[in-house]
Amino acid sequence: MPDLTEKDIRSLEQRLLGRREALRGIIHDALIETRREEYIGLAGQVHDSGDESIADMLLGIDLSQRERELTEMQDVEAALERIQGDVYGICTDCGDPIDRARIEVYPTAKRCIRCQTRHEAERRGGKDYTPSL
Ligand SMILES: [Zn+2]
Protein backbone atom coordinates (compact mmCIF):
# COMPACT_ATOMS: atom_id res chain seq x y z
CA MET A 1 0.00 0.00 0.00
CA PRO A 2 1.44 3.36 -0.91
CA ASP A 3 1.87 5.77 1.89
CA LEU A 4 0.28 8.52 -0.22
CA THR A 5 -3.32 9.66 -0.01
CA GLU A 6 -5.44 10.39 -3.07
CA LYS A 7 -5.03 14.07 -2.29
CA ASP A 8 -1.24 13.79 -2.20
CA ILE A 9 -1.24 12.03 -5.53
CA ARG A 10 -3.45 14.73 -7.09
CA SER A 11 -1.17 17.49 -5.89
CA LEU A 12 1.91 15.60 -7.11
CA GLU A 13 0.15 15.06 -10.42
CA GLN A 14 -0.35 18.81 -10.72
CA ARG A 15 3.34 19.36 -10.07
CA LEU A 16 4.25 16.78 -12.69
CA LEU A 17 1.87 18.28 -15.24
CA GLY A 18 3.32 21.74 -14.58
CA ARG A 19 6.83 20.40 -14.96
CA ARG A 20 5.87 18.68 -18.21
CA GLU A 21 4.56 21.94 -19.63
CA ALA A 22 7.74 23.78 -18.58
CA LEU A 23 9.93 21.09 -20.14
CA ARG A 24 7.89 21.13 -23.33
CA GLY A 25 8.51 24.86 -23.60
CA ILE A 26 12.22 24.48 -22.90
CA ILE A 27 12.65 21.66 -25.40
CA HIS A 28 10.61 23.48 -28.04
CA ASP A 29 12.65 26.68 -27.64
CA ALA A 30 15.86 24.69 -27.68
CA LEU A 31 14.94 23.07 -30.98
CA ILE A 32 14.25 26.43 -32.55
CA GLU A 33 17.47 27.82 -31.11
CA THR A 34 19.45 24.85 -32.43
CA ARG A 35 18.08 25.35 -35.94
CA ARG A 36 18.92 29.04 -35.78
CA GLU A 37 22.45 28.29 -34.61
CA GLU A 38 22.92 25.73 -37.34
CA TYR A 39 21.92 28.34 -39.88
CA ILE A 40 24.26 30.95 -38.42
CA GLY A 41 26.97 28.31 -38.21
CA LEU A 42 26.65 27.51 -41.89
CA ALA A 43 26.59 31.16 -42.85
CA GLY A 44 29.64 31.98 -40.75
CA GLN A 45 31.67 28.90 -41.64
CA VAL A 46 33.53 30.43 -44.57
CA HIS A 47 35.42 33.13 -42.69
CA ASP A 48 35.09 32.08 -39.07
CA SER A 49 36.72 28.66 -38.82
CA GLY A 50 39.00 29.75 -35.98
CA ASP A 51 36.15 29.61 -33.49
CA GLU A 52 35.27 26.03 -34.33
CA SER A 53 36.67 24.44 -31.21
CA ILE A 54 34.78 26.86 -28.95
CA ALA A 55 31.60 26.25 -30.91
CA ASP A 56 32.09 22.48 -30.58
CA MET A 57 32.63 22.85 -26.87
CA LEU A 58 29.50 24.95 -26.41
CA LEU A 59 27.51 22.51 -28.51
CA GLY A 60 28.76 19.66 -26.31
CA ILE A 61 27.57 21.38 -23.15
CA ASP A 62 24.32 22.23 -24.81
CA LEU A 63 23.67 18.66 -25.86
CA SER A 64 24.18 17.22 -22.41
CA GLN A 65 21.78 19.84 -21.07
CA ARG A 66 19.25 18.85 -23.76
CA GLU A 67 19.74 15.22 -22.88
CA ARG A 68 18.97 15.91 -19.23
CA GLU A 69 15.80 17.75 -20.22
CA LEU A 70 14.68 14.91 -22.47
CA THR A 71 15.44 12.32 -19.78
CA GLU A 72 13.50 14.34 -17.24
CA MET A 73 10.62 14.63 -19.69
CA GLN A 74 10.55 10.83 -20.02
CA ASP A 75 10.64 10.45 -16.24
CA VAL A 76 7.76 12.89 -15.86
CA GLU A 77 5.73 11.07 -18.52
CA ALA A 78 6.43 7.73 -16.87
CA ALA A 79 5.37 9.08 -13.46
CA LEU A 80 2.11 10.39 -14.94
CA GLU A 81 1.51 6.97 -16.48
CA ARG A 82 2.04 5.34 -13.10
CA ILE A 83 -0.55 7.70 -11.62
CA GLN A 84 -2.95 6.67 -14.40
CA GLY A 85 -2.20 3.03 -13.77
CA ASP A 86 -2.69 3.42 -10.03
CA VAL A 87 0.81 2.21 -9.22
CA TYR A 88 2.30 5.58 -8.40
CA GLY A 89 4.47 5.63 -5.29
CA ILE A 90 5.23 1.93 -5.50
CA CYS A 91 8.77 0.78 -6.20
CA THR A 92 9.01 -0.76 -9.68
CA ASP A 93 11.71 -3.14 -8.49
CA CYS A 94 10.51 -4.57 -5.19
CA GLY A 95 6.87 -3.41 -5.00
CA ASP A 96 7.27 -1.69 -1.63
CA PRO A 97 5.87 1.81 -1.13
CA ILE A 98 8.38 4.53 -1.83
CA ASP A 99 9.17 6.70 1.15
CA ARG A 100 6.82 9.65 1.19
CA ALA A 101 9.56 12.19 1.89
CA ARG A 102 11.41 10.89 -1.17
CA ILE A 103 8.34 11.29 -3.39
CA GLU A 104 7.80 14.84 -2.12
CA VAL A 105 11.33 15.82 -3.08
CA TYR A 106 11.48 13.70 -6.18
CA PRO A 107 8.00 13.12 -7.64
CA THR A 108 9.35 11.16 -10.60
CA ALA A 109 11.00 8.53 -8.35
CA LYS A 110 10.12 5.04 -9.51
CA ARG A 111 12.22 3.08 -7.03
CA CYS A 112 12.47 3.08 -3.27
CA ILE A 113 15.72 4.45 -1.92
CA ARG A 114 17.09 0.95 -1.32
CA CYS A 115 16.50 -0.23 -4.90
CA GLN A 116 17.64 3.09 -6.36
CA THR A 117 20.91 2.92 -4.44
CA ARG A 118 21.48 -0.64 -5.65
CA HIS A 119 20.53 0.31 -9.22
CA GLU A 120 23.01 3.20 -9.27
CA ALA A 121 25.77 1.07 -7.78
CA GLU A 122 25.16 -1.54 -10.49
CA ARG A 123 25.27 1.10 -13.18
CA ARG A 124 28.49 2.55 -11.86
CA GLY A 125 30.05 -0.88 -11.66
CA GLY A 126 28.73 -1.91 -15.07
CA LYS A 127 31.14 -2.14 -18.01
CA ASP A 128 28.92 -0.16 -20.33
CA TYR A 129 28.63 2.83 -18.07
CA THR A 130 31.07 5.58 -18.96
CA PRO A 131 30.57 8.89 -17.22
CA SER A 132 30.30 11.68 -19.78
CA LEU A 133 32.76 14.51 -19.11
ZN1 LIG B 1 12.34 -1.11 -4.00
Q: What is the CATH number of the domain that holds 98?
A: 1.20.120.910
**What are the phi and psi torsion angles at 97 (to 5°)?**
-65, 140
- Please report whether residue 91 resides in a domain: yes
| Ligand 1: centre distance to CA 131 (Å) | 25
pLDDT tens digits, residue range 73-83?
A: 999 999 999 99
For residues 27 and 75, what is the distance between their CA atoms, to the nearest angstrom? 15
- Please report whether residue 131 resides in a domain: no
Single pTM value for the model: 0.72
Instruction: Report how far apart, in Å, the C-alpha atoms of 34 and of each of 3, 69, 95 are.
Output: 43, 15, 41
- Please report whether residue 94 resides in a domain: yes
| Ligand 1: centre distance to CA 91 (Å) | 5
- Please report whether residue 98 resides in a domain: yes
- Please report whether residue 132 resides in a domain: no
> How many structural domains is the chain composed of?
1
| Ligand 1: centre distance to CA 85 (Å) | 18
- Please report whether residue 35 resides in a domain: yes
| Ligand 1: centre distance to CA 89 (Å) | 10
Instruction: Report how far apart, in Å, the C-alpha atoms of 66 and of each of 27, 33, 131 are.
Output: 7, 12, 16
- Please report whether residue 109 resides in a domain: yes
| Ligand 1: centre distance to CA 93 (Å) | 5
For residues 40 and 98, what is the distance between their CA atoms, to the nearest angstrom? 48
- Please report whether residue 107 resides in a domain: yes
| Ligand 1: centre distance to CA 70 (Å) | 25
Full domain range(s) for residue 97: 6-125
pLDDT tens digits, residue range 86-123?
A: 999 999 999 999 999 999 999 999 999 999 999 999 98
